[in-house]
Structure 1
Amino acid sequence: MNKTKDVFITGFALFSMFFGAGNLILPPFLGFKAGETWLMVTIGFVITAVIIPILGIVAHAKLQGTMYDFGKKVSPVFSVIYCFTVYGICLLLPGPRTASVTHEMAIAPFFNTSSLLTSTIYFILVFIFVMNRSQVLDLLGKYLTPIIIIILLAIIGIAVFSAPGVVQPTHFNTPLVDGILEGYQTFDAIAAMVVGAVLIISINLKNSSPTADKQRLIFKAGLVAGVGLFIIYTGLVLIGSLHNSEFPEDVSRSALLLGLGTKTLGTAGTSLLSILIALACFTTAVGIVTGTADYLKGLFHNSKTVYTITAIIGSVLGIVIGQFDVKFIIDVAIPALMFIYPITIILILLNVIPENWASVLVFRGTVITAFIFSIPDFLKILMPSEGLNAIIDTIPLGHYNLGWIFPSLITFVLLNLYTRFNPSTAS
């Protein structure tokens, strides 16, 4: 019984660390634009926002290390650069975005205060939680996550049964692809790399069980979190679709979610949803800052001073950037995601599959290929040009910002065939 309880507490804690700002405001808006194609959009969204992230947790359970271990087969230098890039992106974009969403949806509708005041108070609280990290799992798993899930399920359940019955046509030409790319904006695959390490360290602090038992605990907790994310995402996309005729076409992500809360739970809905938003965003911010502080602490011989300094820097960045508009932060994140997400997905998949299919040569070749073919998608957003578009259109799926998939897959297959016939080249 205690083991089952540990699995659910850890799974709920993991769910709450995944479930932040983007996870709340993106699915309803995706459903709103998808209309009758909501199911295809959901499938695409689930691939990059549930399946890949949970595989990341499974990889963490297998490695029992840090994010550095994901890329060390490519090279130690690459892995360090990758880690710094990911942690930097997390501190600069999804972390501060949680404060921005909290202000826009949980504070601004009720109080005439500045976003700077919100982000300041918010990240002071984040810092306090990060400095008391041994209690994070219990606090998240026992108390905060059940509240989040209950409020969300109430909104989804009522919205499904109170839908007007009229659904506007889809805005998407390729709903599956649009769902996949929108899943990037949740940062969940990147979050898996960050919070997975937090999870392992937190478990090790309070659990002296054998490694195999810890691996089973993390694996089962990952499944619990994955099922929870799948149910909530599907429900949020569905109600965004069912109620899309009740909102103007130019409705913002935040206004749509607040509107759905009010329609389903009445005047109390906005207040309940505000609590939900604040909790969901807060837990993610804690996970991001804690994960970054843990990584740098490990680089400097488990220095508590480095941990504290990193937590301070992460919180200050959150205060400064978190005062900006949500849409601005989302737009700024797109180029970074187009660049880092393909590499992250490849690293997760290579660390999940059996060792005999993931030699050093396969790691290096596949990751380098993903890196090269993600550059056009990155440049297309920063420096659009007809010449670049012409190149992208020659790459399979390039037109859909997924040009890295087939080249990476082909490289993976060819290098595995090569190492089968030349075993000495595998390492």
Structure 2
Amino acid sequence: MNQRLKLTDIIAIGFMLFAFFLGAGNIIFPPMAGQLAGHNLLPSMGGFLLTAVGLPLSGIIAVAIAGGSWEHLTKDLPVKVSTLMASLIFIIIGPAFAAPRTGLVAYEMAVKPLLSNPDKVSLAIFSVVFFAIAMFFSWSQGKLIDMIGKILTPVLFLCLAILAIAVFVAPQGDIMVAQKAYAIAPFTTGFFEGYNTMDTFASLMFGILVVEGLKGKGITDAKATTKYLISAAVIAAAGLAFVYISLFYLGATSGSIAAHSANGGEILSIYIQALFGSYGQIVLSIIVALACLTTAIGLLSSVSDYFSGITPISYRQWVVIIGIVCAVVANVGLNQLISLSVPVLFALYPVAIALVVLAFVRKFLPNPTLAYRVVLLVSLLFALVDAAKQIGVNVSVFNFLPLFQDGMGWVLPTAAALVVAMFLSPEEKSEKVSQEIA
């Protein structure tokens, strides 16, 4: 069987993955960061790219190294633990948080400004239409590469490229002085802000989705799958870096026209209006609508694919169920769900990063079973402290931990656990696992 893809298909896979990652939040945040960074643009942007692009890229490569499935990635964990972890992640990035937000942001930024009298009815109608379109594109699981990578993403990327060229050719002001934390520690501030995009979650799920897309193209060999998955990850990372760099520069040169903006979305809107005049809102609407739609399709598809594999309900039935739930949540319960979801995000995100690191070092571990269980348990326990802080629990007793104030108090304990796991002998590990099971 032919295990080779045409160059156009490889590019399409990378474009599809790029579009899945590039949600409205990824477009809205960099302009504000760039404005605050000012003259410290380069170190701030470097720190941001390291985590906002580097971590998702690492996540995709980890999926490729592990064998292209969640089961392979977590094979050293108890099945029930692996299933619970995956289910929570998919629920968070699916109907409970990220997916409904794509519809709401698309409405707020792409549609609402074009309406004379926006109200709850217009939001309800838009939500139904938006998620119906997302369900349509998610319906044929094996054709995502052709529909997203070859149709929607090129249009999105063209719009972003036009915006980037306009920003660099005709900047709307001079770069201003750095502000707030960006004036004191630009690199680390950018680093932490990139970390907070939390795209490593999505990388694990989207990587698995790309594997399914490759199967639809006839790629089933493990080596070929790994090669094309890594190629797609590099293309997606390059696309994300291109967009982030141009939007950082947009923000850095926005001080004279959008100095007192409340958020990056406002900066972006004002800047595009200045660049394109009366057509500015149309340009912004197209970019935001496509960015939100492609991300919604990726989330809807990946969540449906996972739950169809662990339940008797089919993939297409899950597409409908989740699409309907997302449309409803976008209208009636997003704020409440966000308040519940954020602590879960803080609790699971470090575990996802630790899982990625373990995938890279697994072959160096004398006893992977014990290493995975210990390292992930340590990351979870300290991540729960960060999650508790998010809901107002007084956890000041942990202030002694490095990076704790930045929501990353789990890093040092997890790194220490990993080092210890590497130096334990296989016999000691086997004995401890036996005791744990007993």
State if a TM-score over 0.5 links the two structures: yes
Aligned to 1:97: 101
**C-alpha distance in 2 between matches for 1:247 and 1:329:** 32
- Aligned match of 1:343 in 347, 351, 360? 351
- Aligned match of 1:199 in 180, 205, 210? 210
Contact 2:16 2:145 in 1 (8 A): yes
* TM-fit CA distance, 1:74: 2.7
Instruction: Please give the secondary structure, in 1, of the residue aligned with 2:178.
Output: coil
**C-alpha distance in 2 between matches for 1:232 and 1:166:** 19
- Aligned match of 2:10 in 7, 10, 22? 7
> Which amino acid is 2:348 matched to?
I
> Which amino acid is 1:416 matched to?
M
Structure 2 residue 159 is the aligned partner of structure 1 residue 155: no
Structure 1 pair 206/416, CA: closer, same or farther in 2 (3 Å)? same
Question: What pairs with 1:184-195 in structure 2 (closer than 5 Å)?
Answer: 184-195=195-206
Structure 1 pair 368/316, CA: closer, same or farther in 2 (3 Å)? same
Aligned to 1:108: 112
Per-residue CA deviations over 1:82-132 (Å, capped at 9, x if unaligned) read 111101101211111111111011100112343222211111111122212
**C-alpha distance in 1 between matches for 2:430 and 2:334:** 52
* TM-fit CA distance, 1:335: 2.7
Per-residue CA deviations over 1:267-291 (Å, capped at 9, x if unaligned) read 2232122111111111111111111
**C-alpha distance in 2 between matches for 1:331 and 1:174:** 30
Aligned to 1:37: 40
Contact 2:101 2:330 in 1 (8 A): yes
> Which amino acid is 1:312 matched to?
V
Aligned to 1:418: 424
**C-alpha distance in 1 between matches for 2:82 and 2:362:** 20
* TM-fit CA distance, 1:18: 1.0
Structure 2 residue 25 is the aligned partner of structure 1 residue 22: yes
Q: Supply the RMSD in Å over aligned alpha carbons.
A: 2.5
* TM-fit CA distance, 1:399: 1.8
Aligned to 2:236: 225
* TM-fit CA distance, 1:424: 4.9
Contact 1:338 1:377 in 2 (8 A): yes
Instruction: Please give the secondary structure, in 2, of the residue aligned with 1:5.
Output: helix
Structure 1 pair 95/106, CA: closer, same or farther in 2 (3 Å)? same
**C-alpha distance in 1 between matches for 2:30 and 2:135:** 29
Instruction: Please give the secondary structure, in 2, of the residue aligned with 1:164.
Output: coil
Aligned to 2:66: 63
Structure 2 residue 387 is the aligned partner of structure 1 residue 378: yes
Aligned to 1:164: 173
**C-alpha distance in 1 between matches for 2:37 and 2:335:** 19
> Which amino acid is 1:103 matched to?
Y
Structure 2 residue 294 is the aligned partner of structure 1 residue 283: yes
Per-residue CA deviations over 1:197-235 (Å, capped at 9, x if unaligned) read 111112112214532112111111111111111121122
Structure 2 residue 253 is the aligned partner of structure 1 residue 242: yes
Structure 2 residue 279 is the aligned partner of structure 1 residue 271: no
Structure 2 unmatched runs, 5+: 434-438
- Aligned match of 1:404 in 407, 410, 413? 410
Instruction: Please give the secondary structure, in 2, of the residue aligned with 1:207.
Output: coil
Contact 1:71 1:78 in 2 (8 A): no
**C-alpha distance in 2 between matches for 1:362 and 1:95:** 33
Per-residue CA deviations over 1:47-106 (Å, capped at 9, x if unaligned) read 332111111111222233433433331321211111111011012111111111110111
Greater mean deviation of Cα atoms: 255-264 or 159-168: 159-168
Aligned to 1:50: 53
Contact 2:37 2:186 in 1 (8 A): yes
Structure 1 unmatched runs, 5+: none
Q: Among the aligned pairs, what percent are the same residue?
A: 26
> Which amino acid is 1:380 matched to?
K
Contact 2:124 2:331 in 1 (8 A): yes
Structure 2 residue 407 is the aligned partner of structure 1 residue 394: no
Contact 1:27 1:237 in 2 (8 A): yes
Number of aligned residue pairs: give it: 421
Contact 1:343 1:367 in 2 (8 A): yes
Task: Using structure 1 for the length normalisation, give the TM-score.
Answer: 0.91
**C-alpha distance in 1 between matches for 2:409 and 2:431:** 28
Contact 1:184 1:341 in 2 (8 A): no
**C-alpha distance in 2 between matches for 1:89 and 1:326:** 12
Question: What pairs with 1:248-259 in structure 2 (closer than 5 Å)?
Answer: 248-259=259-270
